């Protein structure tokens, strides 16, 4: 038992480090790498992996967001509006996780990710679609959709927030990543609370992965704020496509 526990702890540490490295550089929570590693490498139940990932995201995203904020790369007004939608979206996503077939959820989001990636690869120039009240409503809507994804799939929502901010709200790529990370903190907390009430979270694994990811998030945040937007966005788009392909493959089994 002790050997098994130690092995699992080491695996959780490795998972957290991987998530931390991706989080700071791309402005995401890292759940898209943690969930498959929990399931495929550590044999954690699929839905339990989603819930546990959200707990691990909290310290990782907090660390990365702090690094961006220190360098003034967070749009706090956008954070408030996106977070207003994401907190409720995360709760609704947790509810949907128990109602909708995971296959349907994966296919829907895979399509969204591919479209977002294609648009970013075509042009990553910040573009603002609406102004005034409509712009605020759009930010809340973006947050809600990201929150739903977070609650259902155990991700922070950054893979939706970052491209949406760039393509619809006129925020440059670096600030979009910092803003996304700040939002992810609240989204992950909301989703984690809902999952805890349902007993879905493996607290030990989540805390080990989250704490292990902190140093990696610091390093990747520095890299994220010093890398050119074009390079970062191109790499991010390729990751979105890879995630979408994995989702489609999972949904076909």
Per-residue pLDDT of the chain (253 residues; tens, 9 = 90+): 344 568 899 999 999 999 999 999 999 989 888 988 898 899 998 789 989 999 999 999 999 999 999 999 999 999 999 999 998 888 888 888 777 777 777 787 788 778 888 888 887 788 888 888 999 999 999 999 888 888 887 777 888 899 999 989 999 999 999 999 999 998 889 889 989 998 999 999 999 999 999 999 999 999 998 888 889 889 989 988 988 888 788 777 6
Total number of domains constituting the chain:
1
Q: Which two tokens stand for residue 21?
A: 């490295």
- The whole domain housing 78 covers 2-251
The span from the CA of 237 to the CA of 181, in Å, is: 17
Instruction: Name the residue among 120, 114, 118, 171 with its Cα closest to residue 142.
Output: 171
pLDDT confidence of residue 52: 95
Task: Check: CB of residue 190 under 8 Å from CB of residue 171.
Answer: no
* Alpha carbon separation from 181 to 27, 166, 244, 245 (Å, rounded): 5, 14, 21, 24
pLDDT confidence of residue 5: 61
Specify which residues 169 forms β-bridges with: 128
Mapped onto helix, strand or coil, the DSSP state of residue 110 is: helix
For the whole prediction, is pTM greater than 0.85? Answer: yes
The span from the CA of 21 to the CA of 37, in Å, is: 15
Q: Which two tokens stand for residue 39?
A: 């399931």
**What are the CB-based long-range contacts (under 8 Å, 24+) for 170-175?**
170/126, 170/127, 170/128, 171/75, 171/78, 171/126, 172/126, 172/229, 173/124, 173/126, 173/229, 173/232, 173/233, 174/68, 174/73, 174/224, 174/225, 174/229, 174/232, 175/73, 175/74, 175/75
Q: Read off the DSSP letter of residue 156.
A: -
Mapped onto helix, strand or coil, the DSSP state of residue 206 is: helix
The span from the CA of 210 to the CA of 217, in Å, is: 10
- For 134, residues 6+ apart whose C-beta sits below 8 A from its C-beta are none
Q: Read off the DSSP letter of residue 40.
A: I
Q: Which residue bears the tokens 């990370």?
A: 181
Task: Check: CB of residue 225 under 8 Å from CB of residue 67.
Answer: yes
Locate all alpha helices (DSSP H) within 27-155, ordered by sequence: 31-36, 46-70, 76-97, 102-122, 133-153
């Amino acid at each position: 038992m002790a050997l098994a526990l130690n092995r699992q702890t080491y695996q959780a540490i490795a998972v957290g480090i991987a998530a931390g490295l991706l989080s700071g550089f791309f402005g995401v929570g890292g759940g898209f790498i943690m969930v498959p590693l929990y399931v495929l490498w550590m044999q954690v139940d699929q839905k339990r992996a989603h819930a546990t990932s959200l707990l691990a995201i909290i310290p990782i995203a907090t660390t990365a967001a702090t690094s961006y904020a220190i360098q003034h790369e967070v749009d706090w007004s956008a954070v408030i509006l996106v977070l207003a939608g994401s907190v409720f979206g995360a709760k609704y996503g947790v509810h949907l996780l128990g109602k909708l077939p995971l296959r349907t959820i994966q296919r829907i989001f895979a399509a969204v990710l591919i479209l977002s990636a294609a648009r970013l690869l075509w042009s990553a120039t910040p573009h603002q679609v609406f102004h005034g009240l409509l712009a605020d409503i759009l930010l809340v809507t973006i947050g809600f959709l990201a929150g739903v994804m977070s609650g259902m799939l155990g991700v922070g929502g950054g893979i939706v927030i970052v491209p949406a901010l760039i393509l619809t709200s006129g925020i440059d790529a670096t600030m979009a990543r910092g803003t996304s990370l700040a939002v992810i903190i609240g989204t992950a907390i909301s989703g984690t609370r809902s999952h805890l009430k349902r007993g879905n979270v493996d607290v030990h694994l989540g805390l080990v992965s989250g704490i292990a990811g902190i140093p990696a998030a610091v390093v990747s945040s520095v890299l994220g704020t010093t890398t050119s937007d074009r390079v970062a966005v191109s790499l991010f788009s390729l990751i979105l496509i890879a995630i979408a392909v994995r989702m489609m493959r999972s949904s076909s089994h």
